Amino acid sequence: MVKNRRINIILLLIAVCILFSCGKKNENKVVETKKYVEPDNVGNSPIDIDFSITDVGYEERTTIVEDKNVLKRLGKEHSTKYYTYMPQIDKSTNFRYLDAYGNEHDMNIDETVNKNDYVWNQGSVRLKYAPDDCNMSYGVDVSKHNGNIDWEKVKKAGFDFAIVRIAYRGYGRNGTLYTDEKGVENLKNAKAAGLKVGAYVFSQSINAEEAIAEAKLAVELIGDIELDLPLFYDPENIRNAVSRVENLSKEQWNKNATAFLDYVKACGFTPGLYSTMVWEHNYYDSDHLNNYIVWYADYMEYPQTPYNFEYWQFTSKGKVDGISGNVDLNVRITKKS
């Protein structure tokens, strides 16, 4: 009897210790959870971005990655630190960013590349843009995959521009070059509805000759349609598949870009580059990043790049009146004259 009472007392003391220990551990544990995933619905009109200014410098954040695709690669919920660049007087060359898969990359900032001077502030969905000396406009980029588009509705929803895929090359071994069957129609109808229009080619060129062929087809298709915005070169890697450009050297990547951009410029178009943080780190050289308009894609809360850009593609899951399903959304940032 006495023995059993002693055992009960010991068990009670152990339970109290465990509870106290857990309470102490949790007392100071503060976890900020952020989803590394695009919002399912980014609204039926241009994103509501507030205007406010934050301190500049390097911000260190801890993120718990919840994107299912990322978790599948990592095998479990994963916390990771990353650094987001914001302009500051004493710039460090150390820089860390996340790619589209949630992988960390470290790089040295190339001081020969022009920097952006945008100031961002954290918001509920996106970090917020602040400078008083800039204008912001909103746009979509589309291809045949977006189906039939009611451009009048898109315009009424508050969008100012459209970047239309005009041609694309298959990423298989043959690399067949195709016309986007909705490209010319979208350019004409978007322009008729009052949107400014630009175009892009989904490139899989592995040499300069193929890049010129892509540019030539785009120019022929656009014909006498007047573009208000650039004709962009978009050399895509393919997510969850092997692309033709997967193993291109940096030298060849830039040769291809030069061939495309020089051709469209010679034909009277404004040339532009589609880019990501990975491409700016590993592929594009400073001449291309400095001398062409950059359309930068980054689905994080705000652009991670320290380098200059004019267009930001910030989601592929936008919802817009007049377009069925998801659509890519973009912001254009221009200095006030």
Q: If we measure between CA atoms, which residue out of 55, 62, 63 comes closest to residue 121?
A: 55
d(CA 261, CA 211): 9
Q: What is the mean pLDDT of the chain?
A: 76
Give the number of other Cβ atoms within 10 Å of residue 254's Cβ: 16
The pairing of strands 59-65 and 78-84 is antiparallel
Question: Kindly report the CA angle at 84 between 333 and 34, in degrees rounded to 5?
Answer: 100
- Chain centre to alpha carbon of residue 87: 19
Q: If we measure between CA atoms, which residue out of 235, 233, 231 comes closest to residue 223?
A: 231
Give the number of other Cβ atoms within 10 Å of residue 337's Cβ: 4
d(CA 45, CA 321): 8
Express each pLDDT in 242-273 by its tens digit: 678 888 899 999 999 999 999 999 999 999 99
| pLDDT, position 17 | 53
The more confident residue out of 257 and 64 is: 257
> CATH number for the 133-335 domain, one of 3.40.50.720, 3.40.1010.10, 2.60.120.10, 3.20.20.80?
3.20.20.80
Assess whether pLDDT exceeds 70 at residue 60: no
Maximum average pLDDT range among 1-15, 146-160, 303-317: 146-160
Assess whether pLDDT exceeds 50 at residue 128: no
